[in-house]
């Protein structure tokens, strides 16, 4: 006897499933926001292992969000074509209009928070790169500035040419 697998039944799009998709997207966006904050904290702490773990967490959260947003957008396009989310929410039945508007508001609020965290992360990364360039430049200057004083055990850099770098470098 040969068993056949029936194709999955297509779930009918309804306002309830659209509301559930918006809820899933909102929860996934919270995960992205948490991942972005974890990356900010890791960048501040500065340990490579924490930064790598936070990047993996953020990437996983981003993929979950992309799937949830894709499912919601596909449902939206099937039902309303190229209308925006705000336009689609205007068509919602009165019994769920408040909840749909709340989810839409959550999405916009969370996305603003993520944009702020992303800007902070970019600034932290940029300042770290600037510091690295300054430290490297200071080390290069210390190694190549003028001839050092010869001592029995080799050349010693002049005292004005220290390789110690302050936090202001």
Which domain does 127 fall in, by range?
15-156
Please check whether residue 126 lies inside any domain of the structure: yes
- What is the DSSP secondary-structure string of 71-105? HHHHHHHHHHTT--HHHHHHTS-HHHHHHHHHHHH
pTM for this entry: 0.69
Q: Of 9-13, 91-95, 117-121, 133-137, where does mean pLDDT reach its minimum? A: 9-13
Please check whether residue 54 lies inside any domain of the structure: yes
Nearby residues of 163 by Cβ (< 8 Å), 6 or more positions away: 138, 139, 142, 143, 157
Q: Is the pLDDT of residue 138 over 70?
A: yes
Please check whether residue 5 lies inside any domain of the structure: no
Q: Is the pLDDT of residue 119 over 70?
A: yes
Please check whether residue 140 lies inside any domain of the structure: yes
Please check whether residue 132 lies inside any domain of the structure: yes
Please check whether residue 10 lies inside any domain of the structure: no
Tens-digit pLDDT profile for residues 20-61: 999 999 999 999 999 999 999 998 887 889 999 999 999 999
Please check whether residue 8 lies inside any domain of the structure: no
DSSP count for the chain of H helices, then E strands: 4, 2
**Tokens coding 83:** 């209308």
Please check whether residue 32 lies inside any domain of the structure: yes
Return the DSSP state at 146: S
Q: Residue 92 phi/psi, 5° resolution?
A: -65, 145
Instruction: Report the DSSP beta bridge partners of residue 149.
Output: 156
The angle at the Cα of 168, spanning 162 to 169, to the nearest 5 degrees, equals 50
- The domain total for the chain is 1
Q: Is the pLDDT of residue 99 over 60?
A: yes
Counting every residue written for the chain, the total comes to 169
Longest CA–CA span in the chain (Å) reads 92
Contact yes or no for 51/78 (Cβ under 8 A): no
């Amino acid at each position: 006897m040969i068993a056949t697998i029936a194709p999955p039944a297509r779930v009918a799009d309804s306002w309830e499933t659209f509301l559930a998709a918006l809820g899933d997207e909102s929860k996934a966006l919270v995960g992205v926001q948490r991942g972005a904050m974890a990356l900010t904290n890791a960048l501040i702490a500065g340990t490579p292992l924490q930064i790598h773990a936070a990047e993996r967490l953020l990437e996983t959260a981003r993929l979950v969000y992309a799937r949830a947003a894709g499912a919601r957008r596909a449902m939206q396009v099937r039902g309303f074509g190229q209308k925006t989310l705000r336009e689609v929410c205007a068509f919602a039945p009165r019994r769920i209009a408040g909840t749909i508007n709340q989810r839409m508001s959550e999405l916009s609020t969370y996305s603003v928070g993520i944009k702020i965290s992303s800007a902070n992360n970019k600034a932290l990364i940029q300042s770290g790169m600037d510091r690295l360039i300054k430290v490297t430049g200071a080390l290069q200057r210390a190694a190549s500035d003028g001839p050092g004083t010869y001592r029995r055990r080799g050349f010693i850099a002049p005292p004005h040419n220290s390789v110690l770098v302050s936090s202001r470098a």
